[in-house]
Amino acid sequence: MHKSLSRRLFLQGATAAFSAATMGGLASAASAKEIVRPKPLYGPPPGIARLNSNENPYGPSPAALKAMMEASQKGAYYVFDSVIRLKEMIAERHGLTPEHISIGSGSSAGLTAAAIVAGRKGNILGPDLFWDTTSRVVEIQELGEIKRLPKLESMQIDLDAMYAAIDDSVSMVQVTNPNNPTGLLIDPVAMNNFCIKASKKCTVLSDEAYNEITDNSDANSVIPLVKQGHDIIVARTFSKIYGLAGMRVGYLIAQPEKIAEIEKYGVGWYGLNQAGLAAAIASYEDHTFMDYCRSKIKEAREMVSAAVKENGLTALPSVTNFMFVNLGELNAETFRAEMEKENVHIRGIYRDYTNWSRVSMGFIEDVQKYTSALPKVLHRMG
Ligand SMILES: Cc1ncc(COP(=O)(O)O)c(C=O)c1O
């Protein structure tokens, strides 16, 4: 279904146009002895299993592709109504108002602005390991620091310890749920209780980038707490389950006054693009597509789990589109480099988790490359 005729025709047309343009250029360089194939401008080069960025290669959905084609024809115009439309859709879904929502160029835009807002008031508190890429702005801009909880053997987030660590210096506590890179989900009841308590002391940010990949995603979200009026920011993105990472659309849900504060830092209208918004609108309630992606992700996770076990390793029980594999004695950066020699791209070391390796669930054939390369690489590394 997703390699539908319309999509194939669309892609073939685009590839043919690209090849004609580039090959014309190469043919004119008659003296060149060796033809150097141009790297594709978009996506991974052919033959490379790109399993290092938690993308969903099954996207964009056919509906999103069609909408992008239409919207791109109006690319001369700044975005306006499409932003309003998407905010209304999200608000309606959660019983909120459009003023509770800030749409950004990926969730990174809102997350960065939220970190700046927090950093101007104090420090950000997080677990030892979470997706801190945007929060690091507070340290880069010397606004404050990221305080981290001690590392836990279980890799879970200790919410009691987190609550106890909220002191006067902390302006925001941040969790990634499910967490990246561990792939672990926090118990929903514990998360709700924590958010209600902690948000009385400081802002709570729950980054739910992978929420829609989990089973029973609504139960795993704290968006209802925003509706109840708590000082909670929830980040969501179209980059993961919707397969639109390159189209750059994400959003924050929070109290309207918090949204207004965050939007002062340049998030919103001028950071957005017509095609990305069109794709997001067309995808938002496309449950057939999302179910399909979830089933592919599960299939891939089962393949990786089986391969990991067969090779005497273990992995954390992920509910996301990536898995955190314990390499035992082996070094994750060396493992990454060895995997790269097999044309399989994965992540290297996180912080001081030197023997933990993250692999994303891409196309099944790419995950197959990972599982086939695994015994070879482990053998080479001795
Ligand atoms: C947990 C988490 N949050 C946010 C992001 C940023 O995604 P985007 O800016 O594409 O929405 C990522 C990207 O990998 C992520 O893993």
Give the model confidence (pLDDT) of 276-297 as tens digits: 999 999 999 999 999 999 999 9
Mutate to test the pocket of ligand 1, among 129, 134, 237 (most ligand atoms within 8 A of CB): 237
What is the rounded CA–CA span in Å between residue 247 and residue 270? 15
Q: Could you tell me if 181 and 313 lie in one domain?
A: no
pLDDT at 18: 41
Give the mean model confidence (pLDDT) for residues 16-20.
42
| Residue 164 falls inside a structural domain | yes
Instruction: Pick left, alpha or beta for residue 54 (phi over 0 → left; psi -120 to 50 → alpha; otherwise beta).
Output: left
CATH number at residue 204: 3.40.640.10
Question: What residue's CA is closest to ligand 1, atom 10?
Answer: 106
Burial 174-203 (b: 16+ CB within 10 A, else e): bbbbbbbbbbbbbebeebbebbeebbeebb
What is the rounded CA–CA span in Å between residue 101 and residue 85? 12
What is residue 369's three-state secondary structure? helix
Give the mean model confidence (pLDDT) for residues 321-334.
98
pLDDT class for 263, splitting at 50, 70, 90? very high
How many angstroms is it from 245 CA to the middle of ligand 1?
9
What is the rounded CA–CA span in Å between residue 265 and residue 262? 6
pLDDT at 24: 41
pLDDT class for 239, splitting at 50, 70, 90? very high
How many angstroms is it from 176 CA to the middle of ligand 1?
10
pLDDT at 269: 82
Instruction: Kindly provide the residue ranges of all beta strands, DSSP E only, lying in 199-263, ordered along the sequence.
Output: 203-207, 232-237, 250-253
| Residue 11 falls inside a structural domain | no
Q: Give the strand pairing for 356-360 and 322-326.
A: antiparallel
In this structure, what token pair is assigned to residue 79?
């975005």
Q: Could you tell me if 220 and 238 lie in one domain?
A: yes
Query: Is residue 160 predicted with pLDDT exceeding 80?
Result: yes
Q: Could you tell me if 187 and 322 lie in one domain?
A: no
pLDDT digits (tens, 9 = 90+) for 199-237: 999 999 999 999 999 999 999 999 999 999 999 999 999
Mutate to test the pocket of ligand 1, among 234, 238, 240, 323 (most ligand atoms within 8 A of CB): 240
| Residue 85 falls inside a structural domain | yes
Question: What residue's CA is closest to ligand 1, atom 6?
Answer: 108
Q: Could you tell me if 224 and 327 lie in one domain?
A: no
Q: Which atom of ligand 1 is nearest to the CA of 130?
A: 1
Domain containing 349: what range? 288-381
Residue that terminates a domain, selected from 283, 304, 329: 283
Q: Could you tell me if 261 and 365 lie in one domain?
A: no
Mutate to test the pocket of ligand 1, among 51, 111, 137, 175 (most ligand atoms within 8 A of CB): 111
Query: Is residue 313 predicted with pLDDT exceeding 60?
Result: yes
How many angstroms is it from 181 CA to the middle of ligand 1?
11
Count how many domains the chain has.
2
| Residue 254 falls inside a structural domain | yes
How many angstroms is it from 33 CA to the middle of ligand 1?
43
Query: Is residue 178 predicted with pLDDT exceeding 60?
Result: yes
pLDDT class for 157, splitting at 50, 70, 90? very high
Residue 245's Cβ-count burial label (10 Å; 0-12, 13-18, 19+) is buried
Q: Could you tell me if 73 and 106 lie in one domain?
A: yes
SS3 content of the chain, % helix, strand, coil (to 5): 45, 15, 40
Question: What residue's CA is closest to ligand 1, atom 8?
Answer: 106
What is the rounded CA–CA span in Å between residue 146 and residue 128? 10
Percent of the chain with pLDDT over 70: 91
> What's the chain's average pLDDT?
92
Q: Could you tell me if 126 and 174 lie in one domain?
A: yes
Query: Is residue 97 predicted with pLDDT exceeding 60?
Result: yes
pLDDT at 57: 98
Residue that terminates a domain, selected from 253, 283, 313: 283
| Residue 100 falls inside a structural domain | yes
Residue that terminates a domain, selected from 267, 283, 299: 283
Hey, which residues does 357 pair with through a beta bridge? Answer: 325
Q: Which atom of ligand 1 is nearest to the CA of 248?
A: 10
What is residue 314's three-state secondary structure? strand
First vs last C-alpha separation in the chain: 43
Q: Could you tell me if 137 and 275 lie in one domain?
A: yes
| Residue 111 falls inside a structural domain | yes
Question: What residue's CA is closest to ligand 1, atom 2?
Answer: 209
Q: Could you tell me if 258 and 346 lie in one domain?
A: no
The ligand 1 site (C-beta within 6 Å) comprises: 54, 106-108, 131, 176, 180, 207, 209, 237, 239, 245, 250
Give the mean model confidence (pLDDT) for residues 158-181.
98
Q: Which atom of ligand 1 is nearest to the CA of 239?
A: 10
What's the full length of the chain, in residues?
A: 382
pLDDT at 19: 44
What is the rounded CA–CA span in Å between residue 197 and residue 376? 50
What is the rounded CA–CA span in Å between residue 237 and residue 269? 16
More confident residue, 20 or 290: 290
Q: Could you tell me if 167 and 189 lie in one domain?
A: yes
| Residue 6 falls inside a structural domain | no
Residue 123 makes CB contacts below 8 A (sequence gap 6+) with 138, 144, 145, 146, 147, 169, 170, 171
User: Vertex 226, ends 249 and 279: CA angle to 5°?
Assistant: 20
pLDDT class for 36, splitting at 50, 70, 90? confident
Pick the closest to residue 120 from 108, 112, 130 (CA basis). 112
